[in-house]
Structure formats: structure tokens, C-alpha cells
């Protein structure tokens, strides 16, 4: 089992190879890229936006935009970084639009923790009932804490701790310097620590 | 451990983004200091929670929705490709074609308005240069070539003028013009430039100001016959400034009529459908500025080959000075009268000492007339004095920088 997974990992074409195949006309290559990043993109969207429906809509927009723009992708950055840039920008635009709409209606756009509980779903339903319940509660606590962060801090924590991008890649996605990444991430972590308090998911 | 910098270093240590020396120092601090260790553990724990609990399975419908949209996108592209390929045009060729057409259209929009005027002027200059030297009659006047497309009214005016010139008793062409023109309101503001006592035969008084958006409305107003001299006066008045620029160019004395063409100040003029060239001055029949003259001289030098690329001038070649007047009008009758009187002036200039004189006639289909004469420098001031005596606004410094002769141009543009 382990060896088969390892073998599959070795056999799996790299992102750059799939991009090259797509550019040469192999549209199936995009399917492989989609499968590779679907979960990460959707998770990022739902963590950023706090609403499953909106997250699904934005994730769809991200992949369609990537499909349209992949022919022009020069490969200066990694495909994952490029895709994450699209995702972050789409999420920001959506929040901006929602913010404008809410300003007109004098409403708040920040998702409340109750909304988070209603929209977030467990990672896996194959676990034992107790374990699943526990995981759901833990996920709810983390997401509720994330919701309390500013958008700027939320996105940088997600990029580093969830997407596992390094500092230069984060800087590329957000358009900020490496030193700014370092300081902003430190502040975001401090803020998250306060938001979580003594909770122990 | 609340120091921000300590937390920042711990955070960077957690991400392994510190230099090796700092990594070692922080590692030591974590091992030795319980407070630092506790802060580091909290950061590490939070990071792990994020990594574990943010991961969310997407709904099954997401993939279907994405690929349904991509299929639709592909089908649209395929349809476009098949349509153009059925016409024998590849998609890439089509895109190149569209891009080229867009660039061409943009260039057309940007360049052509200026280029049209330049082309037109170049064409007129070429025709003017090709035109044979005008014949002169017994009175020294330039004979006008037969116009191909001449209206009966214009022909009548010309016949009358010709007969009058020959008999030295000029009728009043203005009267004939008045009969065919529409009823004209009385002039509201009019400035007539009178010839001096020794009135020359031809007087051109032009005052057309086409600069700015105010423009001028012209109207043909009262025409009074006078036995002593033929006077033609056009005055232009700017709307708000009431600035009337008028210049007069007088010719030899003789009998004729006086026609006054005035531009109402209080009526909104129709905008001239052509643009005043940027180099032209707003003064009508005004002398070009020194800069213009210098430029023209430089052009003349360049065309005559009297200067090399380093600017060294070969003094062997005569230096030509070009002075150009420009007049814009929308009244064909005014242009016809100007033409007639300008030709009279031309003959006068020639009698003063012009080396050559050519003019181009004007018809209803021709919106351009140019009178051109070459004058020895020592005769230019004579002409200028006459102009000033007629009230012309002259701005020539009087120094011609060693020019041996001056080319005098008067261009009249007419746009119906």
C-alpha cells in the first residue's frame, strides 16, 4: 500500500508538466490539475468567505478563470501560487461586493460564528460517530476563531498554515515584501492565539 | 514573552524562515526558557489546528459544475473556430486580422484629421507649382484662367469685373452679389478699412479670426459704390473680447466699388468645419511671426540645399524668407471678392518690384486660393508701409536676416 502510493507520487506528473500538456492541446491535463487542487481551493474559499454556497461559486469561478488563463501562464511562478493568487483575488472581490451591498442595506457582512457552524461541514464522515463529533466541534472552534481575525490576518494564516506556502510565495500572492509577510504573520498568530484563548480543540 | 519581536522570531522559527545563526539561538532559548517554550508550543499547536481543521471536502456538485461550464466554453470556441474555418480563415489569422484592423482604425482616427489637411495643402501647393505663369493684360492685371465649374452667378460677377476693368469704370460687383444673396441683416459691428487718399486699385481688407471656439459669423452687408476707389473691407469681431483684427492690403488707385463684409459679433457663428493649422496665427492677413518666418526660412534653406547637416550655411545661395497669411471664411461671395481684389493687389505688388507673381483661381468647388509673390527685400518695407497705412496689423520686425527676396503668400480657405 505504502509503496503503491509512493509509486503513484513518483509517477504523477508535476504541475509544470500538466500545464505544458494543456498548452499543447491536451485538455485532459486540466482535469488532473483540477483534481489536485479542488479540495485546497474550496477549503481556502470556505475559510475566507465562511459560506459554503459562496465558496462553491467562487471555487468554480477560480477554475474557469484558470482554464481560460492557463494558455497565458508563463510559468514564472509555481502553478499552485498562481492558482492561489486567483483564489485570493476572487475571494477579496466577492467580499468587497458583499461589503458594498451590505453598506447599502446597513448590514454586517462578517460571518458570525453561528453561520460558521451552520455552513462548515466535517472533514470526514467515515470516522466513528464520537470522533466525527469531536472533529466537527474542533473544526468549528478553529473556524470561529478565524472568523474573528481581520481578513488580512485570516488570509495570511491560511496561506502559511493551511496552504503551506513559504514566505516568498505568500509575498507573491499578496503582493507584499518578505519582511511584511514575517511581521504580519506574527501579528496574525498572536491574534489567533487570543481568539482561541484557552480552548483546546 | 509578550515582546512582539520575540513572538515574531518564534513565528519565523516555526516556519524555518530564520537564518541558521538565529535558528540556533531561538532553539537554545526554547530549550532553556520555559516561558519561551510555552509560547512556541502555543504557536505550534495553533498552526496544527489550522492545518487539520480547515481542510473541507468540496461538494460533489462542484466538479460537475466546473466541467459543465468548461464544456460550454469549449463548444462556443469550437463553434467560432468552425465558422471561420468554413470560410477558410484560421482562428489565429482572424485574431491577427482583428488586431491589425483595430490598430489601423486607431491610427486613422489619430492621424488622418491632421494628415487630411496636410495632404490637401501639399496637393494645392503642387498644383500651384504646376500652374503656368499667369498672363497679364494691358493693365498689368493677371488674367484668370477659365474655371471649369463656374456657376452662372460667379461668371456674371467675373464678366462684370472684367468689363469694368477694361473700361476703367468698375461696376459694383457687390450689387450683383447682393441680388443673389439672401436678405442680409444690417451689420451690427463693422469696421471698414479705408484706403488712403491715393487709393490703390485693389484693396484687400481681411479680418477673419478662425481661432478659438468663438469663430465668426460672416455676413455680406451694405455695399456702396464709390467712384474713387474700390474698397473691400471685412472685419471680424470676436464675441466676448470684441477684438477685431483687420488688415488691409491696398493696390493701385482706380475707380470701383466698395464692398463691406462684416462679421457680426453678437450672433453665434457657425463653427468652421476645418481646423486652423497650429502654426497659423489668429490674425487675419497678419504677418507671420518671426519664429514662423525663421522656420520658413530654415525650410527654404533646407530645400535649396544652402545649409548642410552641421548647420553651416553656404552664403553663395540666396536666402528666401517666406511670409504667409491665412484667411478662413465660410462665405463664397466674400472669397470671390477677396480673390478679385487680391489679384489686383498682386499686380500692384508686382509693379512695386515683385520678381514673380502667381495666383490660383477659385471656383465653387475649390475652397482654396493662394497668391504668391517674390519681392526683393528692399521692396518689402514699401508693401508693409502700405499695409500699415490701411490699418493692417503687421508684426514683422522688418529685418529679414540677409534674405535677398521674400516670398509673400496669401492663402484663403473657404468652407461652405
The pair phi, psi for residue B39, each rounded to 5°, is -65, -40
Interchain CB distance below 8 Å, A185 and B61:
no
Q: Indicate the domain borders of chain B.
A: 4-53, 57-89, 92-130, 131-414
Span B385-401, average pLDDT: 46
Mean pLDDT of B66-75: 86
Range with the largest mean pLDDT of A14-18, B114-118, B224-228, B238-242: A14-18
Q: Which of the four pLDDT bands, split at 50, 70 and 90, describes residue B241?
A: very low
Q: Which residues of A touch B8 (CB under 8 A)?
A: 182-183, 186
Is the CB of A123 less than 8 angstroms away from the CB of B62? no
> Angle at Cα B251 formed by Cα B247 and Cα B253, nearest 5°?
125
CA atoms within 13 A on the CB side of B156: 13
Q: pLDDT digits over B352-387, tens only? A: 555 455 555 455 445 555 556 666 666 666 665 555
Are B54 and A143 within 8 A, CB to CB? yes
Per-residue pLDDT, B279: 38
Comparing B10 with B406, the larger pLDDT belongs to B10
pLDDT-derived band of residue B331, with 50, 70 and 90 as boundaries? Answer: low
Query: Mean pLDDT by 10-residue block, N- to C-terminus, for chain A (201 residues)?
Result: 56 84 88 93 91 92 93 87 94 87 64 46 49 79 86 93 92 92 93 78 55
Helices (H), B324-415: 332-352, 377-389
pLDDT of B54 over the 60 cut: yes
Contacts of A135 in chain B (CB under 8 A): 53
C-alpha distance from A185 to closest chain B C-alpha (Å): 8
A68 to B42: CB separation less than 8 angstroms, yes or no: no
Looking at this predicted complex, what is its ipTM?
0.78
Count of helices and strands (H, E) across chain A: 10, 0
Q: Which three cell numbers stand for residue A105?
A: 442595506
The full set of domains in chain A, from first to last, is 14-109 (1.10.1740.10)
Q: How far is A123 from chain B (nearest CA, A)?
A: 5
User: What does the pLDDT average to over B133-138?
Assistant: 49
The answer to whether the Cβ–Cβ distance between A189 and B7 falls below 8 Å is yes
Contacts of B12 in chain A (CB under 8 A): 182, 186
Structural contact between residues B13 and B37, judged by C-beta atoms closer than 8 angstroms: no
pLDDT digits (tens, 9 = 90+) for B189-223: 333 333 333 333 333 333 333 333 333 333 333 33
pLDDT in tens, B9-45: 899 999 999 999 989 999 999 999 998 998 899 899 8
Tell me the chain B residues in contact with residue A193 when contact means C-beta distances shorter than 8 Å.
42-43, 46
Interface test mutation site (partner A, options B62, B64, B65, max chain A beta carbons within 10 A): B62
What are the two backbone dihedrals, phi and then psi, of residue B379, each rounded to the nearest 5 degrees? -100, -10
R_g of chain A, CA atoms, integer Å? 18
The pLDDT value recorded for residue B330 is 65
Interface of A with B in 74-133 (CB under 8 A): 120-121, 123-124
Amino acid at each position: 500500500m505504502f509503496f503503491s502510493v509512493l509509486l503513484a507520487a513518483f509517477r504523477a506528473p508535476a504541475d509544470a508538466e500538466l500545464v505544458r500538456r494543456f498548452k499543447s492541446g491536451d485538455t485532459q491535463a486540466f482535469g488532473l490539475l483540477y483534481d489536485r487542487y479542488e479540495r485546497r481551493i474550496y477549503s481556502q474559499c470556505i475559510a475566507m468567505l465562511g459560506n459554503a454556497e459562496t465558496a462553491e461559486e467562487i471555487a468554480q469561478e477560480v477554475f474557469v478563470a484558470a482554464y481560460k488563463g492557463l494558455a497565458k501562464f508563463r510559468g514564472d511562478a509555481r502553478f499552485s501560487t498562481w492558482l492561489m493568487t486567483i483564489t485570493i483575488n476572487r475571494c477579496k472581490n466577492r467580499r468587497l461586493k458583499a461589503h458594498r451591498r451590505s453598506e447599502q442595506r446597513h448590514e454586517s457582512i462578517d460571518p458570525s460564528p453561528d453561520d460558521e457552524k451552520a455552513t462548515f461541514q466535517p472533514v470526514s464522515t467515515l470516522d466513528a460517530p464520537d470522533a466525527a463529533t469531536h472533529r466537527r466541534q474542533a473544526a468549528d472552534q478553529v473556524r470561529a476563531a478565524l472568523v474573528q481575525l481581520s481578513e488580512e490576518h485570516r488570509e495570511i494564516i491560511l496561506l502559511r498554515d493551511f496552504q503551506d506556502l513559504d514566505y516568498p510565495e505568500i509575498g507573491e500572492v499578496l503582493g507584499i515584501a518578505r519582511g511584511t509577510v514575517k511581521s504580519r504573520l506574527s501579528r496574525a498568530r498572536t491574534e489567533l492565539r487570543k481568539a482561541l484563548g484557552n480552548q483546546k480543540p | 514573552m509578550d515582546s512582539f519581536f520575540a513572538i515574531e522570531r518564534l513565528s519565523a522559527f516555526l516556519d524555518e524562515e530564520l537564518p541558521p545563526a538565529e535558528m540556533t539561538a531561538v532553539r537554545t532559548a526554547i530549550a532553556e526558557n520555559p516561558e519561551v517554550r510555552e509560547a512556541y508550543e502555543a504557536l505550534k499547536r495553533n498552526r496544527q489546528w489550522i492545518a487539520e481543521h480547515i481542510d473541507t471536502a468540496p461538494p460533489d456538485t462542484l466538479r460537475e459544475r466546473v466541467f459543465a461550464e468548461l464544456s460550454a466554453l469549449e463548444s462556443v470556441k469550437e463553434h467560432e473556430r468552425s465558422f471561420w474555418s468554413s470560410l477558410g480563415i484560421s482562428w489565429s489569422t482572424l485574431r491577427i486580422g482583428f488586431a491589425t484592423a483595430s490598430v489601423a482604425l486607431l491610427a486613422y482616427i489619430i492621424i488622418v484629421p491632421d494628415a487630411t489637411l496636410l495632404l490637401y495643402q501639399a496637393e494645392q501647393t503642387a498644383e500651384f507649382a504646376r500652374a503656368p505663369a499667369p498672363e497679364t493684360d494691358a493693365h498689368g492685371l493677371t488674367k484668370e484662367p477659365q474655371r471649369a465649374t463656374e456657376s452662372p452667378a460667379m461668371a456674371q460677377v467675373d464678366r462684370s469685373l472684367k468689363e469694368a476693368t477694361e473700361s476703367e469704370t468698375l461696376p459694383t460687383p457687390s450689387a450683383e452679389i447682393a441680388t443673389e444673396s439672401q436678405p442680409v441683416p444690417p451689420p451690427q459691428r463693422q469696421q471698414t478699412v479705408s484706403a488712403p487718399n491715393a487709393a490703390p486699385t485693389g484693396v484687400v481688407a481681411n479680418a477673419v479670426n478662425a481661432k478659438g471656439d468663438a469663430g465668426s459669423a460672416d455676413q455680406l452687408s451694405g455695399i456702396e459704390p464709390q467712384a474713387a476707389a474700390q474698397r473691400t473691407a471685412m472685419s471680424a469681431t470676436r464675441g466676448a473680447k470684441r477684438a477685431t483684427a483687420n488688415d488691409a492690403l491696398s493696390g493701385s488707385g482706380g475707380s470701383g466699388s466698395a464692398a463691406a463684409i462684416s462679421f457680426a459679433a453678437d450672433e453665434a457663428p457657425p463653427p468652421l468645419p476645418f481646423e486652423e493649422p497650429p502654426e497659423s496665427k489668429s490674425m487675419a492677413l497678419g504677418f507671420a511671426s518671426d519664429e514662423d518666418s525663421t522656420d520658413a526660412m530654415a525650410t527654404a534653406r533646407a530645400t535649396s540645399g544652402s545649409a548642410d547637416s552641421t548647420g553651416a550655411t553656404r552664403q553663395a545661395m540666396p536666402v528666401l524668407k517666406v511670409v504667409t497669411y491665412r484667411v478662413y471664411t465660410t462665405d463664397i461671395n466674400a472669397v470671390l471678392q477677396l480673390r478679385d481684389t487680391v489679384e489686383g493687389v498682386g499686380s500692384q505688388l508686382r509693379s512695386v518690384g515683385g520678381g514673380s507673381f502667381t495666383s490660383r483661381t477659385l471656383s465653387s468647388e475649390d475652397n482654396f486660393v493662394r497668391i504668391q509673390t517674390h519681392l526683393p527685400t528692399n521692396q518689402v518695407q514699401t508693401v508693409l508701409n502700405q499695409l500699415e497705412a490701411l490699418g493692417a496689423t503687421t508684426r514683422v520686425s522688418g529685418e529679414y536676416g540677409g534674405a535677398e527676396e521674400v516670398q509673400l503668400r496669401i492663402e484663403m480657405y473657404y468652407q461652405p
